[in-house]
Structure 1
Amino acid sequence: MARGVAMEHNLAQSSIDLRGIYLMLRRHVRLLASGGLLGVVLALALLVLIRPQYTATTTLMVDSREEKILNDAIIAPFRPSSNAIASEAAVVVAPNVLKRVVERLELARDPDFAASPRIPGVLGTAKAQLFALFGIRPREPNTGEGLSDEMIEVIESLRKSIEVTQSQYTNLLNVNVTSRDPRKAARLANAIADAYLDQQLEGRYNATKRATEWLKERLEEHKGRLRQSEERFEVLKARLDLVEKDGASLEEKQLVRLNEELVLARARTAEARAKYESVRRQADGRALDEKQLAEIAQSSLITQLRTQLAQVIRDEDSLRSRFGYAHPAVVKVHAEKRGLTSQIDEEVRRIVAVLKNELDVATSREASLERSLKAATLRSSDQKSEYVRLKELQREAESDKALYEAMLQRMKQAAAQETWKMADFRVVAEAVPPLTSSQPKTKMLVMAGLGLGFGLGIGLTLLTGLLDKTFKRGRDVETKLAIPHIVDVPLLPARQLAAGGPARTPDQSAFHFASEHVGSPFADAMLGLLSSLQSSSREMPIKSIMFTSSTPGEGKSVIAANFAQTAARSGYKVLLVCTDLRTPTVNWFGPTNEPKADLVDYLNGRAEIEDTVARSSHTAIDLIPAARSAANAASLLASPRMEKLLDWGKANYDLVVIDTVAIVTCLDGRMLARRIDATVVVIEWLKTRFDMAKEAVDLLLKNDARIAGAVLNKVDFTKAKLYGINTIA
């Protein structure tokens, strides 16, 4: 069983108990509220102490109007993109831009930006002397044409108050300037925007001017080169006696013309040969296609003759079927048929002859052109190299001319752009003095203070929870001590304790609470404790029960007295033995008879057991009290007479209840542990520490005690839900 409880404890430790953390925060809600309140107070204090800062904003936008006016500009227009706009944002805070602002607004005299005089301290003087020993000269201050040290310091101070941001998904740049004076913030933001635009205009003008000067130099060079190339071309053209403006000779033009005519002649020859061969094959095979012949020979006569022949053949077939072969009409039609056939054959022979003649003419024309082309080629071969050189000179002159004209056009554009003043950006919203401060932000600071306060409260709560090593739930008993948790005993209400009667004090009433308040949660807890012990006694009868605790004041004596009275009401004959010989508490009992001796007298051998028993009709139990303390309490409880007392009690009573001292602080209870049938450990809720209870259990186990379990005492059920206890009081 102990091993199973230990495994459950390990599993509980390996996971985050979110419900436990929630309950812990609820238990310390006042601490959380105090932390939040403290954070708000600190935030308000900071608002009072921190001097307000004001931020003014000037908005710039990419200006695309120039691109529409000068689409072919020498200096390429600005193409807005996220990287390009981010680069321009860095240019806004460049030293050369901020220098313009410093000089224009005379910020070197402004106390917010003025450079403080540098007076070398002791460390700086010692450092300079040490460098001087090694021949290292200190840095010379900047006093030349560049930025002086004072100007650099002023620019750096100004840069710290500037923030340039890009509006998302737009082509806008926001120049934010923060200052203690709202009017100064607006003036600086507008001055920075103006300085940036002036810088852009000046840069564009200088770039255009340099481009114009370069174009002028290149233009003069190309002008001379064009003149030379044209002169060389005209000289060679005159020497070759060329009359065409494009530089082509008559021989060259004749070659081109002959080539074109030869191509056409070859096409005509091929066409004539195809027509002739097609008609000749049909004529030889006597399988004429009148439609094809009409298309080739462009003659409709054959079509007409074939149509007449078809009609005559139909008439012949009709007359022959009616009159026979010898009828005059049939003979006449047959003669017409022969005549038409003869005419068709004659027309075909004529068409073949015509096509043959056309083929011969085309072949002759082709051969003539080939001879003329060959002769012209031989004549022009001698001047071929000169013509190639002429073509080269012509292309060179044309290229120089095109380049010269392009550069001339670009130079005119550059000259026009020198007077065109427009920057890539323009101001779309000038800065105005802000009405509210940007720093510190009241809501944000208060929320931060509130969050910090709550965080501090949560941290203190968690720290308190981590440091709190007391028992809060019955599960803690089982996981920390590996013993069963029997019952939760509620805290006794002070109002009912005070109503115990005029003869008793509230402390005395606590020992009789279960008897006087039957049906109360406390009395029900005692019944539950008795029932649990009865259930465990089925395996081994329990005749003696000892109630103990790890430290004094946990309520073990009250539990023992009320348990004994509850068992007596349930029909048990109960003997309660008070073995606390160091701080005896027996004034609550109110015996009917006055015993002749107490437990100390018996253990010292000065009395018998019967002389120590006190009886009370009110409580229905018998009591052997310890009326006084004893210095040798441990040895007395370990004596044979104590063992004899226990045996006598088991023989004469149904149940012997032992009330003993705290286990950890005194040795007395350990002497009795091995002689008792069952030991109940009383643990005070939210007070007993884990280590003390663990030590008590270990001491009991070392003395062979049979631990029945533990009782969680003084549980305040009005706060129980905050600790995960679901028992309804």
Structure 2
Amino acid sequence: MNVLPNLDRIVPTVARAAAEQVVSSAEMLTSLSGFLRRQYQFILVVIAACLCLGVGYYMATPSTYTATASLIIDSRKNQLFQQQSVLGDIPIDSASVESQVQIIKSETIALAVIKDLRLTDDSEFAGSPGLIGTVTGWIGDVLGSDRSRSEFDKLRRTTESFANRLTVRRVGLTYIIEIGFRSLSPDRAAQIANAVADAYVVDQLDAKYKATKRATSWLQDRIKELREQASAAERAVVNFKAQNNIVESGGRLMNEQQLAELNSQMVVAKTQVSEAKARLDRIEAVLLADNPESTVDGTVADTLNSQVVSKLRSQYLDLATREADWSARYGRNHLAAVNLRNQMAGIRSSIMDELRRLAESYKSDLEIANQRAASIEKQVDQAVSASRVTNEAQVSLRDLESKSQSYRALHDNFLQRYMESVQQQSFPITEARIITQASRPLKPSAPKLSIVLSIAGAAGLLFGFGLGRLRDLSDRVFRTTDEVEAQLQAHCLAILPRIEPQLNLPAPTGPRGPRQVVPDGGLYWHVVHNPFSGFTESVRAIKVAADIAARNGAGRVIGFTSSLPNEGKSTVAAGFAELLAQSGARTILIDGDLRNPSLTRGLMPEAEVGVLEVLSGKRDMSQVMWREPETGLDMLPAVIPSRHAQTSDVLASAAMRNLIDDLRKRYDYVVVDLSPLAPVVDVRTTTGLIDSYVFVVEWGRTKTDVVQHAMNSARHLREQLLGVVLNKAELKQMSRYGYGGYYRNDYYRRYGYSE
């Protein structure tokens, strides 16, 4: 297998996933830090408010004291007076301990303590009657209502107050239970805690005594019933044996013993038959054989075990040995060898006669053995028949005996339990015992200032983060370049800080020519008077973007617009045009807001004619144009003597197109201050005139949905958009969004920037 190509694909994938995870973590941390920078003041205010509420609660709440008593549920029961619980030894587990906790919290224990300590008369628990109680009692007397009802209400109020002040908990996984009680008096708290522990122990003893008493009464009736049932069952067993002739000896039935003995005799008889038949078969096989030598075979003597045959065989073997020796010496036909063979033949004849006699004897033995086996087998069959009858009766007998034994065992067991119950009734013992008595607490348990302040601080932090997040989500405005690029899908050219008019500038001197613009301390001239400010540097960023767009063939006619009025588009347009003129570019600034020519009112308030007269042919360009002599910026005002309803037609007219084409030839940049998008539709008719648009958005004020709606309503403008400018940014607040300080820190001051 080629593993290396797979590794080449896997390693970059893993590395890319790890890098994405790191980037995601970094983005999360950046988002969190930005959130804290924006909302930390609000979060601190919420925390401070919660802390003040906590201090107020601490000062208004009276001090209470908590006393604690401890008891243990002992799993090792005292065996001094009892051997076994009548109700059974139930092991103590976690569920049992938790059950005891709930018993201590029960109303039974509470009522016992309330009654014992007369807590219904204590104003801390039952409450002081006061004026309302007096009036209620008087009305009850007049109406004749039942006084017990008021006593019942007082008891219920006391019980509820008691339950609210009582705390019972298990210590870890142990069998120890802590009982705490909270009261305004430390002595009262200790007294009630000890009373609850004592009441629980007494309740356990009383419960055991009552349970034992009920068990004793029930056991008496049950023992009497079982005694009668056991006696009746035993009598039934005796009567059944007598009726069915069932006799036992040594723990066994007589017919069973007889059948066992007959079986043993039958096995012996069958063994004898087999042996007799085997001997008979062997001797008959020898007699039927034609070979004379088989009569003197060694196995015959060994099998038959006959002394006569054995003696004759020994003689035969001696003669055979001598015959073989003489035949070898003198030859087979020698007279002595012939005599020996004759003697051997006589011995073989004697052996055959003896074998025939033995065969007759074996036949007799076989017949005797068969008769004996048949007799024993007949006796076994008779015994089996009798045993079957007895066994059928034995089934019923065993049922009666089992029933009798069960009744007797139950009687004995219940009798033993009865004796134990009587013993426990005399000496009731509980598993619970008090190990620590509650003592008078030395200091109050609540309220604790540290806990109150911790809870208040934690709540304040939680509420602060939650409300801060809600403020963040509800803050649907533009504050960062990332928000602009993410929501508008447009490049953010610059963030312009908020500027203020300069009131202490010296008045201009020298003669003033016709249609000459004189700079003053207004916002429009901030770029001229403060070339090293952050505002001017941000306007330079717009100029750089415009220069790059112009080199790329995007055109040099730039329009400035916004979503709503008063977002500062005219100020930005004037500053941009002044900066272009200062750099040596031939620039003209046109007031294209024919509905509200604020640029004309701010820069050329004395103008009487403007762009409308040029478009209508009443005046020439040179007769209406104004100039700023310091920068060389030309300005074309818009003078509206009365409200004009067809301004969009004017901007879309052929005369306006011819004017813009003429200005393209005469100037390097044509800057047009247009009307806002939302109130009027004038800007939408200029997409054929304007090469690039700069969209001005007021920082931290204009809603994002307003800007998005305005830009979506002019889709051609979006296609020709040079970028977005955030205007009127607050430097102090910008630091919360990761900006702000860069206009004021030492690094920027080294380059001559001023606030």
The answer on 1:193 being equivalent to 2:197 is yes
Per the alignment, in what secondary structure is the counterpart of residue 73 of structure 2? strand
Change (3 A) 1:305 1:233: same
Look up the match of 1:447.
454
Task: Deviation per CA, 1:618-669: give whole Å up to 9, x if none.
Answer: 424333457x885457779949887775454334223322235555567887
* AA at the equivalent of 1:204: K
The separation in 2 between residues aligned to 1:427 and 1:698, in whole angstroms, is: 80
The answer on 1:471 being equivalent to 2:478 is yes
Look up the match of 2:572.
559
Look up the match of 1:8.
none
Q: CA deviation at 1:61?
A: 1.2
Matches within 5 A, 1:186-265: 186-216=190-220, 255=255, 258-265=258-265
2:493 aligned residue (478, 487, 497): 487
The answer on 1:575 being equivalent to 2:588 is yes
* AA at the equivalent of 2:72: L
Q: CA deviation at 1:526?
A: 3.1
Q: CA deviation at 1:333?
A: 12
The answer on 1:712 being equivalent to 2:729 is no
Look up the match of 1:462.
469
* AA at the equivalent of 2:572: I
The answer on 1:38 being equivalent to 2:49 is yes
Task: Deviation per CA, 1:518-545: give whole Å up to 9, x if none.
Answer: 997425403323135315634xxx3533
* AA at the equivalent of 1:276: A
The answer on 1:686 being equivalent to 2:700 is yes
Q: Is this contact kept in 1: 2:179–2:197, CA < 8 A?
A: yes
Q: CA deviation at 1:30?
A: 1.1
* AA at the equivalent of 1:76: G
Change (3 A) 1:355 1:73: farther
TM-score normalised to the size of structure 2? 0.68
Per the alignment, in what secondary structure is the counterpart of residue 413 of structure 1? helix
Matches within 5 A, 1:291-690: 326=332, 357=365, 360=368, 363-364=371-372, 367=375, 408-434=415-441, 439-440=446-447, 444-474=451-481, 476-477=483-484, 484-485=490-491, 487-491=493-497, 505=521, 507=523, 509-512=525-528, 521-522=537-538, 524-534=540-550, 537-538=553-554, 542-568=555-581, 572-578=585-591, 582-584=597-599, 599=610, 608-615=620-627, 618-624=630-636, 630-631=641-642, 638=650, 646=660, 648-660=662-674, 662=676, 675-690=689-704
The separation in 2 between residues aligned to 1:515 and 1:389, in whole angstroms, is: 126
Q: Is this contact kept in 1: 2:485–2:491, CA < 8 A?
A: yes
Per the alignment, in what secondary structure is the counterpart of residue 657 of structure 1? strand
The separation in 1 between residues aligned to 2:70 and 2:281, in whole angstroms, is: 96
Segment drifting more, 713-722 vs 448-457: 713-722
The aligned length equals 679
The separation in 2 between residues aligned to 1:704 and 1:551, in whole angstroms, is: 17
Q: CA deviation at 1:693?
A: 3.8
Q: Is this contact kept in 2: 1:247–1:390, CA < 8 A?
A: no
* AA at the equivalent of 1:564: A
Q: CA deviation at 1:718?
A: 8.0
The separation in 1 between residues aligned to 2:534 and 2:154, in whole angstroms, is: 92
The answer on 1:109 being equivalent to 2:109 is no
* AA at the equivalent of 2:71: T
Change (3 A) 1:417 1:696: closer
Q: CA deviation at 1:203?
A: 2.9
Look up the match of 2:747.
none
* AA at the equivalent of 1:108: T
2:166 aligned residue (156, 162, 169): 162
The separation in 1 between residues aligned to 2:544 and 2:166, in whole angstroms, is: 76
Q: Is this contact kept in 1: 2:587–2:670, CA < 8 A?
A: yes
Change (3 A) 1:272 1:702: closer
* AA at the equivalent of 2:203: Q
Look up the match of 1:14.
none
The separation in 2 between residues aligned to 1:661 and 1:372, in whole angstroms, is: 133
Instruction: Give structure 2 stretches of 5+ with no counterpart.
Output: 1-26, 287-293, 509-519, 744-755
Change (3 A) 1:343 1:477: same
Change (3 A) 1:306 1:450: farther
The separation in 1 between residues aligned to 2:95 and 2:398, in whole angstroms, is: 50
* AA at the equivalent of 2:121: R
Change (3 A) 1:605 1:212: closer
Look up the match of 1:275.
275
* AA at the equivalent of 1:263: N
The separation in 1 between residues aligned to 2:621 and 2:705, in whole angstroms, is: 38
Q: Is this contact kept in 2: 1:575–1:657, CA < 8 A?
A: yes
Look up the match of 1:98.
110
Q: Is this contact kept in 1: 2:657–2:689, CA < 8 A?
A: yes
Q: CA deviation at 1:224?
A: 7.5
Matches within 5 A, 1:48-197: 48-53=59-64, 54=66, 56-66=68-78, 70-114=82-126, 141=148, 151=155, 154-167=158-171, 169-197=173-201
* AA at the equivalent of 1:281: D
The separation in 2 between residues aligned to 1:116 and 1:292, in whole angstroms, is: 129
Q: Is this contact kept in 2: 1:40–1:446, CA < 8 A?
A: yes
Change (3 A) 1:360 1:113: farther
The separation in 1 between residues aligned to 2:392 and 2:602, in whole angstroms, is: 146
Segment drifting more, 150-159 vs 712-721: 712-721
Q: Is this contact kept in 2: 1:470–1:690, CA < 8 A?
A: yes
Q: CA deviation at 1:270?
A: 1.7
What is the identity percentage for the equivalent residue pairs of Structure 1 and Structure 2? 21
Task: Deviation per CA, 1:697-721: give whole Å up to 9, x if none.
Answer: 5776799996554333355688667
The alignment's C-alpha RMSD in Å is 6.2
Per the alignment, in what secondary structure is the counterpart of residue 65 of structure 1? coil
Change (3 A) 1:96 1:307: farther
The separation in 1 between residues aligned to 2:135 and 2:127, in whole angstroms, is: 17
Q: Is this contact kept in 1: 2:693–2:723, CA < 8 A?
A: yes
The separation in 2 between residues aligned to 1:198 and 1:192, in whole angstroms, is: 10
Look up the match of 2:512.
none
Change (3 A) 1:265 1:602: closer
Per the alignment, in what secondary structure is the counterpart of residue 635 of structure 2? strand
* AA at the equivalent of 1:680: V
The separation in 2 between residues aligned to 1:310 and 1:110, in whole angstroms, is: 135
Change (3 A) 1:281 1:309: farther
Per the alignment, in what secondary structure is the counterpart of residue 726 of structure 2? strand
Instruction: Give structure 1 stretches of 5+ with no counterpart.
Output: 1-16, 130-136, 590-594
